[in-house]
Structure 1
């Protein structure tokens, strides 16, 4: 059995909605297409499609196989073009994952700029603050901030963001003045839920590096909620510059102990550990690697400076 041909027939059956439509497109007969897909199911040992006289319905296994099969066909076509030395045109869908806060505040505008440059590329941007399985979820490129990275991906560091203490002027006026890191223990601290190091914070400054134990009455797993909480005067905390750079510049937030800062936050591009990358994914990663270090609150990683 020609597996590529069978997979292509299966994908087109899903997209066109009937086996007879595939038969017409491929200039063959409906029974031929049906036998080809049945042979594919037999070889895989799973049922991909539930057939009726009027419709086709994907099984759960069929849904997963369909998503992966589309990418196999795209990569096969691109590999053939590359081997033949043909000029490849950037086109097709790109599935991108990124943190919610960074996506809404910064990345959304960059994606729209990228789409304007490449009108034949489509982007599905999925924003959440959890590590996704790039292969299982069909993600072409992920942008992640700090944290440990999964072992089955390739990571490319593209930018860094300084992390420092901030609070609203209204908060600072209500509570005792902060003259040294030791004063932080008696203040209302807002932090990210389930921080990697508990509530022990390392700050570096004129006195070297100190460990500060903080106690958060409020923790939240959203950088946007933390940003809003600072603005409301609910407390102080450490956050990356990209999240609050505009608020500090406008005076809505102030830096606390400006001589002190925490370890910076690194931004990395992740992609599945496979040898072949589509042109659209390569172009998108190149675009972000150039643009993100230029965003307010970001710099190029240290090894590029």
Structure 2
């Protein structure tokens, strides 16, 4: 059996706390994971793990071997990255994190065209509004909306993230077109469930700010669901422009209160500082920067 694979299995067992979880992480059976550990212990002539039906713990030899094995695998990984840097063609797996709406509407299609150009690259695109830790979670590139406060990361401005207030023509025909945020009191509004008193949208009103209606007739935790409800005439919708761009272009949704939408927020690319970033990363960044103007409404 491959000794490096055995080391990797041993480290996974220790970090996950069980053979089953380690096997799932490494995409092998728990029986195979046990065989790797047994072979290591046989080769070393000592037990690395003390285990019973309920728990497992490291022996003294296991603690020493764990630290040294991690160091060995880190050196192997560094060697592989060094070789990859020498390759003219980008290759390998690229892990990307992006906000749900922007990632689904903009980043995913751009990723598809990138993969057509560089078939040796594999992309793991994680769409989440959670603030991922690039270092701890092994993420190569993140797209963030809002101001950036990370001195240890490289940040590249992409575009403004605009919001739009819109409704279906049928709804406006029944209820009229609002002229100022104060008119919202007489309208049916749709809202996202993540909007709270802390992060809800505020519209610039004639006299100070006006909050987007809290007493929405429909709340949903998915922007696509809200978009479809607005298309069906359920009410006024406040959503990112990229999410409803097709509906606005086709006339299925119509802009309203254009002078009172929230201020756009900046969108940035973030990646870890590296004097010699891998080709798969540099090419993906270049592709996003070049293709973005056609993907995001002007």
Q: Does the CA-based 8 Å contact 2:160-2:266 persist in structure 1?
A: yes
State whether residues 162 and 240 of structure 1, in contact with CA within 8 Å, keep that contact through their aligned partners in structure 2.
Answer: yes
TM-fit CA distance, 1:232 = 2.1
Task: Note closer, same or farther for the CA distance 1:12–1:163 as it changes in structure 2 (3 Å cut).
Answer: same
- CA RMSD in angstroms, aligned pairs only: 4.1
Q: 1:77 aligns with which of 71, 77, 80?
A: 80
1:162-241 pair list within 5 angstroms: 162-192=162-192, 193-195=194-196, 197-199=198-200, 201-203=202-204, 210-216=208-214, 217=216, 218-241=218-241
In the TM superposition, what is the alpha-carbon distance from 1:248 to its structure 2 partner? Answer: 0.8
Cα offset, 1:114, TM superposition: 0.8
The 3-state SS of whatever aligns with 1:95 is: strand
**Structure 1 93/196 Cα, relative in aligned 2: closer, same or farther at 3 Å?**
farther
Number of aligned residue pairs: give it: 261
Distance 2:125 2:210 in 1: 37
Work out the CA distance in 1 between the residues paired with 2:213 and 2:269. Answer: 33
Q: CA deviation at 1:15?
A: 8.3
Q: Is the 8 Å Cα contact of residues 75 and 276 (structure 1) preserved in structure 2? A: no
For residues 248 and 202 of structure 1, what CA distance do their matches in structure 2 show?
Answer: 20
For the residue of structure 2 that corresponds to 1:277, the secondary structure is coil
Aligned partner of residue 139 in structure 2, secondary structure? coil
Contact 1:158–1:293 under 8 Å retained in 2: no
Structure 1 runs not aligned, ≥5 long: 1-5, 23-29, 49-64, 300-305
What is the deviation of 1:122? 1.0
How far, CA to CA, are the matches of 2:210 and 2:249 in structure 1? Answer: 27
Question: Scaled by the length of structure 2, what TM-score is found?
Answer: 0.69
Q: Which residue of structure 1 lines up, in the alignment, with residue 253 of structure 2?
A: 253
Deviates more, 1:238-247 or 1:148-157: 148-157
Tell me, yes or no, if the aligned pair for 2:84 and 2:278 is still in contact at 8 Å: no
Residue 141 of structure 2 is matched in structure 1 by: 141
C-alpha separation in 2, matches of 1:11 and 1:44: 12
C-alpha separation in 2, matches of 1:36 and 1:102:
54
Shift of residue 11, structure 1, vs aligned partner:
4.2
